[in-house]
């Protein structure tokens, strides 16, 4: 299913179904304010790899506040496995994303599976989707926490949380955790723990591509998901930027991306006069995360990989257009943001299902950002001399 199809189904068909469930749900009985020892907790976060990364401090706080509860994490299959090695939850479930009819069948099977688990609590971290609100109710859990709009007079949540777009998304997720008496943490994104196989992949990839331990590696993500492809900075400018970085003779450039993005990334590589390391389409999600952790600098559009790089401790330069960095920008002194902040920006929000409404085929919020502007930010972050030159200067 396309993103537009998913939006239509959620905003039209699922909304009707949700409204019917609201009418049939009746009044709720008195409920406990927070989980008790031994409770089964289901945390749902279906959409967005970057959102899952931004929700990681919330997962940590829930785990710390409910150490004796059994916590299950549910997401879409393409997002599964991110934090399975981190101890933030006890087990994970995934929902395969397929065409409409097979997906509906998978949803029915999932509902049956969730009801058999007899969860005591559902924590829904997907903001303002009728699908996740309905799934929380259909799980059968008596206690359900999730986001609502200010105008909502009634919801399927027993513990509704007012959704706010005036604060950073990481802080938004933590407001839900308050329903479990899990108070705000430090907001630090949790690094993804790699297993031995993924560490071995990183070693072999670096060896095969002659990446030395002291090479300054600059990762670049030229893509953005189908949620809003308008976030993509122009290909030819990425190619020019990558050439400038490579022509310093100090840094090496690696282009990253998923298998579905490989063709688009290859077009960027073909526009370059230098030869980058091509990793797009050659890695699994977790292998790409291993490479992100190896990068000395990561340059990206506003998309999931920039949040992964931040979590893995790599300095980043993030390019924002339709979205605002005040809500999704990387935090900390190691990270830089380029954002025009035009009067029409941001034009996407959770209230409009993150759909860009721009009459311009070349959105000015992203196309007005020049290569020179990015280079002015990137150049000071590159080493002034190569590691070998540093060694030679010390020996002379």
Q: In terms of domains, do 164 and 300 share one?
A: no
Please indicate, yes or no, whether the overall pTM of this predicted structure exceeds 0.85: yes
- C-alpha 73/C-alpha 93 separation (Å) is 6
Q: In terms of domains, do 290 and 151 share one?
A: no
Q: In terms of domains, do 113 and 10 share one?
A: yes
Q: Both tokens of residue 252?
A: 């090496």
> How many residues would you count in the chain?
396
Residue 388 lies in a domain: no
- Output the pLDDT for position 152: 76
Last residue of a domain, one of 151, 180, 209: 180
Q: Write down the mean pLDDT value for the chain.
A: 89
Closest CA to 330 of 340, 343, 339: 339
**Residue recorded with tokens 């020892």:** 37
Q: In terms of domains, do 346 and 296 share one?
A: yes
Q: In terms of domains, do 157 and 208 share one?
A: no
Q: Which residue has the higher pLDDT, 33 or 335?
A: 335
Interval 295-314 mean pLDDT: 96
Closest CA to 79 of 192, 231, 229: 192
Q: How confident is the model at residue 328 (pLDDT cuts 50, 70, 90)?
A: very high
Q: Both tokens of residue 233?
A: 């900075």
Interval 354-367 mean pLDDT: 88
Q: Both tokens of residue 204?
A: 């072999």
Q: In terms of domains, do 138 and 82 share one?
A: yes
Q: In terms of domains, do 135 and 208 share one?
A: no
Q: In terms of domains, do 35 and 126 share one?
A: yes
- Strands 40-44 and 277-278 come out as unpaired
CATH number of the domain encompassing residue 240: 3.40.50.2000
Residue 205 lies in a domain: yes
Residue 162 lies in a domain: yes
Total number of domains in the chain: 2
pLDDT tens readout for residues 180-205? 777 666 789 999 999 999 999 999 99
pLDDT tens readout for residues 112-125? 999 999 999 999 99
Last residue of a domain, one of 115, 146, 180: 180
Q: In terms of domains, do 172 and 238 share one?
A: no
Residue 350 lies in a domain: yes
Q: In terms of domains, do 132 and 259 share one?
A: no
Q: How confident is the model at residue 395 (pLDDT cuts 50, 70, 90)?
A: very low
What is the span of the domain harbouring residue 100? 3-180
Q: In terms of domains, do 143 and 59 share one?
A: yes
Q: In terms of domains, do 25 and 161 share one?
A: yes
């Amino acid at each position: 299913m396309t993103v537009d199809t998913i939006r239509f189904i959620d905003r039209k068909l699922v909304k009707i179904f949700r409204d019917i469930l609201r009418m049939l749900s009746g009044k709720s009985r008195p409920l406990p304010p927070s989980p008790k020892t031994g409770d089964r907790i289901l945390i749902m976060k279906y959409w967005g790899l970057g959102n899952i990364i931004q929700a990681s401090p919330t997962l940590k706080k829930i785990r710390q506040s409910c150490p004796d509860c059994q916590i299950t994490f549910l997401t879409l299959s393409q997002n599964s496995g991110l934090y399975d090695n981190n101890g933030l939850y006890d087990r994970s479930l995934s929902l395969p994303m397929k065409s409409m009819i097979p997906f509906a069948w998978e949803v029915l099977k999932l509902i049956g599976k969730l009801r058999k688990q007899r969860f005591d609590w559902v924590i829904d971290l997907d903001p303002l989707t009728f699908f996740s609100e309905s799934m929380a109710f259909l799980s059968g859990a008596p206690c359900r926490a999730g986001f609502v709009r200010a105008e909502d007079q009634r919801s399927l949540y027993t513990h509704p949380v007012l959704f706010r777009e005036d604060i950073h998304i990481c802080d938004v997720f933590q407001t839900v955790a308050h329903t479990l008496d899990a108070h705000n943490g430090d907001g630090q994104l949790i690094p993804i723990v790699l297993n031995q196989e993924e560490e071995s992949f990183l070693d072999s990839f670096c060896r095969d591509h002659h990446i030395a331990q002291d090479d300054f590696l600059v990762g670049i993500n030229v893509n953005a998901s189908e949620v809003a492809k308008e976030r993509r900075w122009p290909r030819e400018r990425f190619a020019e930027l990558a050439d400038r970085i490579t022509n310093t003779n100090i840094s090496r450039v690696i282009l990253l991306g998923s298998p579905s993005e490989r063709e688009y990334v290859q077009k960027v590589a073909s526009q370059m006069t230098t030869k980058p390391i091509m990793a797009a389409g050659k890695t699994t999600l977790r292998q790409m995360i291993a490479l992100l952790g190896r990068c000395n600098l990561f340059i990206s559009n506003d998309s999931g990989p920039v949040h992964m790089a931040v979590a893995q401790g790599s300095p980043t330069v993030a390019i924002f257009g339709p979205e605002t960095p005040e809500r999704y920008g990387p935090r900390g002194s190691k990270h830089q943001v380029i954002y025009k902040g035009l009067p029409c920006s941001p034009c996407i929000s959770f209230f409009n299902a993150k759909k860009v409404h721009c009459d311009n085929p070349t959105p000015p919020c992203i196309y007005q950002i020049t290569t020179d502007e990015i280079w002015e930010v990137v150049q000071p972050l590159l080493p002034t001399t190569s590691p070998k030159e540093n060694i030679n200067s010390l020996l002379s």
